[in-house]
Amino acid sequence: MFKNAIVRIPGSNLADGLTTVDLGMPRHDLVLQQHAAYCKALRECGLTITTLAADLRYPDSTFVEDTAVITERGAVLTNPGAPSREGEVAAIREAIMRFFPAPLFPSLLEIHAPGTLDGGDICEAENHFFIGLSHRTNEDGARQLAMHLASMSYTSSVVDVRGMTSILHLKSGIAYIGDNTLVVMEEMADNPAFRTAFHGYKLLRVPPEETYAANCVRVNGRVLVPSGYPRVHAALVANGFTPLALEMSEFQKMDGGLSCLSLRF
């Protein structure tokens, strides 16, 4: 069960951030509306939210998931792969440290250069973690994270998504939603890494036209899912889940998904 979430208010310069898609410029009024609805949904799911102020130094900083990997046993600060985002980790360090105080957690673990790692490339499935190799997370970053996770008695495996042009991060195309169930985009569903590591897990395959909805988030008794994707919504209901649809159009314009907007723990 999640108890807490850390979010950051989107800055008025979100449109100056990084994106690989051409869906138009985000409207700041809608950005704020959609972010407020997202935070409301987290509260409805029982989470206490720590809300950080907008940080105009880093246009992408509302996507806080990329700055850390947080588990029940400790936290790992990342080293984002995009140079323009490097300062975001320092900007969120204090907020994370409040939840991992000494002496219970003597220090936060970190990813150091030349390793790079974005939290959006990390998919946690119970005690196993999938680490995506992408254009933001490199081999050294993946190796360091695997070592840190092993020190906390977690297992991990690597999934290379660098050849997939349709997604930015691993979790753009995959989500573990509990109950032995993995939501996965069709292009990734037959990856041998999942057939091996997820033996016995149910795969909910996402059709190509609804790939964006593969980035859904289980938060306690609900599954947050972007609105406008009826086949994914219906598949969740048919398999016993309770989806909560949220409008994400403005964040989608900036390569952002539901998981990107919070650190949940």
Please identify every residue annotated as catalytic. 169, 260
| Pair of tokens at residue 98 | 């409040």
150: left (phi over 0), alpha (psi -120 to 50) or beta: alpha
**Radius of gyration, alpha carbons of the chain:** 17
Nearest in space to 51 (alpha carbons), one of 59, 61, 60: 61
- Per the DSSP assignment, residues forming a β-bridge with 218 are 223
Phi, psi of 144 (to 5 degrees): -65, -40
3-class secondary structure, 223: strand
Pair 234, 94: CB distance under 8 Å: no
Phi, psi of 226 (to 5 degrees): -65, 145
